[in-house]
Amino acid sequence: MSILALSASHHTASLDLLAELTLVPDQRAKVLTELERSAYVDEALVLSTCNRTEIYAAVSRFHGGLEELAGALSLVSGVPLTALQSGCAVSYDERAVQHAFSVASGMDSMVRGEQQILGQVRSALTEGQRAGTVGTSLNSLFQQALRVGKRVQHETAAGAAGRSLVTAAFDQIGDLAGRRTVIIGAGTMSSMAAATAAAAGADLVLVNRTRSKAERLAGTLGAQVRDLSELRSAIADAEVLISCTGGRDLQLGVDDLLGSGLRTVVDLALPADIAPEVAEIPGLRLINLASLAEGGYDAASEDDLADAMQLVADEVADFLAARRAAAVTPTVVALRTMASEILDAELSRLQSRTPELSEAERAEVGKSMRRVVEKLLHQPTVRVRQLSSESDTDYAGALRELFALDPQTVRAVGGGDLGRE
């Protein structure tokens, strides 16, 4: 099996297309259900955030697998295949590993070095595990991706900066001390925004469709709570509005905000919560994903980012080396199994031809023959693992050809394909 990734992100697609491709939990589950029926996809995982929608899969064939991934995403999202062709990037095998590690470490994010993505990757892995679509290949890949992300956070200046879209937006808002700030939503990003605003001394008001969620958050931050139906009165005397719901049923336009006291409006949702035309209201500044993307807000210096990316590159190399070494193991086991079977057959023949030997003598002959076989096989099997970890040369294939190993035996030992497409 090889790893295939189909990715739509701020690097490849417009925000409008990303909004169409943003998948809620039920939609992500439907994608996984569709891929379970695929003849070419053995495992699958879906990652969908405000800046990316990606499908990772373990596939038996590249072209067949890609068609299945694109078809499932198109079917569930309603986005035509033609739009996916122009708005998605495809990574295969080693490049897919590189991409997964870059994403989990925040090196592929709009704000490079941001930490929120690590939790989103962990959630995507958990969803796939619960759906039963994550097996050995994707589990090992993403468990390692999570470890890489943690290393970048704790061992590099880029990760230690702890930036996110929220902090990038707050840098543009300016001083919030004493300013009435209304935050719509009570999810992960809204909670982060609320905590940041409270720490900055804002006069905080939380607005949410489900009041109980907002009340739980407000209780920890000392904020006021309003129902969504009270939004207009909540913003009447507010200076700052921050919205992070990403719900398709919330869309605030010029008429909703005109006449309020708002000076700054921040929209970190995808699909957008606030119409871009709001920026035309005199005296009001709109900060949204588009303006943040244009601003190129990174969490650290170029040198710090280079250090983090080198760590990711080293981890990718180590992961691929370990995978290549592991791939040769079934062939090595099959070779040793064949040698053992030949040895047992020869010992059986020896017993029938030399009835005069005692049991002790036969046992000593057997030990000697096994030591000879072990010494003959030891160096080649150690070297084939070492050489396989260092290059893409198919040493396992060479062993299979040289010793005429039974392909079915190798498959039985490895539980899968002999090699990649």
User: Does 48 appear as a known binding residue?
Assistant: no
Helix (H) or strand (E) holding 48: strand 41-48
d(CA 42, CA 65): 9
DSSP 273: S
Residue 186 marked ligand-binding: yes
C-alpha closest to that of 333 among 406, 244, 276, 387: 406
Neighbours of 390 (CB within 10 A): 12
Is 188 annotated to bind ligand?
A: yes
Question: Is 143 annotated for ligand binding?
Answer: no
Q: Which residue's structure tokens are 């005429």?
A: 404
The Cα 108–Cα 11 span in angstroms is 9
The alpha carbon dihedral of 310, 312, 318, 320 has a sign of negative
116 is an annotated ligand-binding site residue: yes
Q: Is 189 annotated as a binding residue?
A: yes
* Contact predicate 164/116, CB 8 Å: yes
Q: What is the DSSP letter of 228?
A: G
Token pair listed for 30: 């439907």
The amino acid at 41: V
- Two structure tokens written together for 368: 């000697």
Residue 51 labeled ligand binder: yes
The Cα 384–Cα 332 span in angstroms is 8
**Helix pair angle (302-353, 407-414), 10° resolution:** 130
Q: Per DSSP, what are the bridge partners of residue 183?
A: 206, 242
Contact call for residues 87 and 14 (beta carbons, < 8 A):
yes
Q: Which active-site residues does the annotation give?
A: 50
Q: Cβ of 346: how many Cβ atoms within 10 Å? A: 12
* 172 labeled binding residue: no
Instruction: Please check if 120 is assigned to a binding site.
Output: yes
The number of beta carbons lying within 10 Å of the beta carbon of residue 285 is 16
Report the 10 Å Cβ neighbour count for 415.
Answer: 8
Instruction: Identify the CA nearest to 246 among candidates 276, 272, 208, 213.
Output: 272
The reply, when asked if residue 185 is annotated as ligand binding, is: yes
Known binding residues for NADP(+) are: 185-190
Known binding residues are: 49-52, 109, 114-116, 120, 185-190
Known binding residues for substrate are: 49-52, 109, 114-116, 120
